[in-house]
Chain A
Amino acid sequence: MNEYTLPIVFGIAIGTLSRLFMLRTDYRQYPTYLHGKIIHVALGFIAAGLGTVAGPAIMEEEFTAITFLTLAASQFREVRNMERNTLTELDSYELVSRGKTYIEGIAIAFESRNYLVIFTSLVSTLAYLIFNIWAGIIAAIIAVLISHKLMSGGKLKDIVEIEYMEPRFDGAGLYVDNIYIMNIGLPERQKEVLRYGMGFILKPKNMNARSTIANLGQRQAVLHDLSTALGVYRDSGTPALVPLAKRDLDDGRVGVFVLPQERDIERAITVIGDVPTLENAIRMPSEKNSNEGSGAQ
C-alpha cells in the first residue's frame, strides 16, 4: 500500500457509483435485463479505473502513460457499436420500432457516459491527491452534477406545444385535425380506429423546432415512446393499426396518431413531452441565417 492506493480506490468507487447513477431504467424499459446492466457497470468500472490512474501518472510526471486514454476511446467506441447492433437486432421484433435515429442516440449516450465516468474519476482523484479526501468528495459531487447536466439533453416539450385531437374520418381518409394520416377502407377497421385511436398535434414553437420534428427518426421516437408507455392496440399482421405521424406541409405541425391500450390523454401528453430531442434530428436553420448575417458584416 502506497500513497496512491486510497486515492485510486476512492476514484474507482466514485466513478463506478456515478455510472450506476447514470444507469437508470425508466419507462422506456432499457436496459431492463440484469446482464445488460452488469455489462455497463463493468465497463463503467474499467472507465473509472482508467480515469483514476491518470491522476497518479500526472503526479509522477509519467505523461506518456496518459496515452492509454486513447485506448479507452477506441474501447468505448466499441460500446457504441455493441449497443447499436443489439438494439437494431431487437428493433425488428418491436410492435412499434424505435427507429435508427433513436438507436443511434441511445448508442451515443452509452459511449459518452463512459467518458463522463473517466472525467469524474480523474477530477475526484486529482482533488484527493492535491488537497485531501474532503476536496475529493466535493470535486466528485461537482463532477457528478456536471455529468448529470451533460447527460440530460433537451425534451420535446421544450420545442413544441402538444394538443389532443380526436381522430376523424373523411370518407376512407383518416385525419388528425386537418392532417391526413392514411386511407383505411374497411368500415370495421375504421370503427376500431375511432374506438381505440388517439390523435395529437405537435405545434413547433419556432423555425428550428419545425425542422427538428420533421425528422422521420424524431417522429418514430415519439411513436415508440408513446406505445411503450401506454401500450399498443395491434399485433403482427395488422399494418392498418400501426401508429403514424404525418406532417402538415403548410405550417410544419405534426399529427400523431396512436392506438394505445390505455387511453389517458394527460399521461400521453406528458410522455410525448418527455421524448428526448434526438441529437441527430436537431436542425438549426436560424443559425445559418445569423451566421450569414455576421459573415456579411
Chain B
Amino acid sequence: MMLEKFVLAAITTNPKKIPSGTAVFHCDSKEEMEKVAANLEAILDGIAHALTEELYIIVKH
C-alpha cells in the first residue's frame, strides 16, 4: 500500500495538546509557530494546514 498523504510534523503553542506519532515542535507564540511552519513547509515540501489556532500540521500531498 502506498501512502499518498502523510503528516510530517506538528507545530503547536499548546503543551496540553501534543499529538503523538509525528515530530512535534513546541512554540511560545503564534508568530513563532507561523515562522517554524513556514520553514518546515519549505524544507519538507509539504503544506502547512491549520487545524486550530494553536496547532499546525505539515502534510505531504
Residues of A within 8 A of B (CB): 171-172, 182-189, 237, 239-240, 242
Residue B48 lies at the interface, judged by CB distance under 8 Å to chain A: yes
Given known pairs A237-B45, A240-B41, the reply for A183 and B50 (CB within 8 Å) is yes
Residue of B nearest to A185 (CB): B50
A186→B34 contact, CB < 8 A = yes
B45→A172 contact, CB < 8 A = no
Residue B42 lies at the interface, judged by CB distance under 8 Å to chain A: yes
In the bound complex, CA of A184 to CA of B38 (Å): 11
In the bound complex, CA of A183 to CA of B48 (Å): 8
Which residues of B have CB within 8 Å of A237?
Answer: 42, 45
Given known pairs A185-B56, A186-B41, the reply for A240 and B34 (CB within 8 Å) is no
A185→B61 contact, CB < 8 A = no
In the bound complex, CA of A51 to CA of B28 (Å): 76
Closest CB pairs A-B (n = 6) = A185-B50, A172-B50, A185-B48, A183-B49, A240-B47, A237-B45
B45→A184 contact, CB < 8 A = no
A184→B34 contact, CB < 8 A = no
A186→B46 contact, CB < 8 A = no
**B contacts with A, residue count (CB < 8 A):** 13
Which residues of A have CB within 8 Å of B42?
Answer: 237
Which residues of B have CB within 8 Å of A184?
Answer: 47-50
CB distance from B40 to the nearest CB of A (A): 10
Residue B37 lies at the interface, judged by CB distance under 8 Å to chain A: yes
Q: What are 30 A-B interface contacts by the 8 Å CB criterion?
A: A172-B49, A172-B50, A182-B47, A183-B49, A184-B47, A184-B48, A184-B50, A185-B37, A185-B48, A185-B56, A186-B34, A186-B37, A186-B38, A186-B48, A186-B50, A186-B56, A187-B34, A188-B34, A188-B38, A189-B38, A189-B41, A189-B48, A237-B42, A237-B45, A239-B45, A239-B47, A239-B61, A240-B41, A240-B48, A242-B61
Which residues of B have CB within 8 Å of A171?
Answer: 50
Which residues of A have CB within 8 Å of B46?
Answer: 239
Q: Which of B37, B42, B45, B47 has the most CB of A within 10 A?
A: B47
Residue of B nearest to A182 (CB): B47
Which residues of A have CB within 8 Å of B38?
Answer: 186, 188-189
CB distance from B39 to the nearest CB of A (A): 11
In the complex, given contacts A185-B47, A242-B61, what are 7 additional A-B residue pairs having Cβ atoms less than 8 angstroms apart?
Answer: A182-B47, A184-B47, A185-B48, A186-B50, A188-B34, A237-B45, A239-B47
Which residues of B have CB within 8 Å of A240?
Answer: 41, 47-48
CB distance from B23 to the nearest CB of A (A): 16
Which residues of A have CB within 8 Å of B47?
Answer: 182-185, 239-240
Which residues of B have CB within 8 Å of A186?
Answer: 34, 37-38, 41, 48, 50, 56
Residue of B nearest to A236 (CB): B45
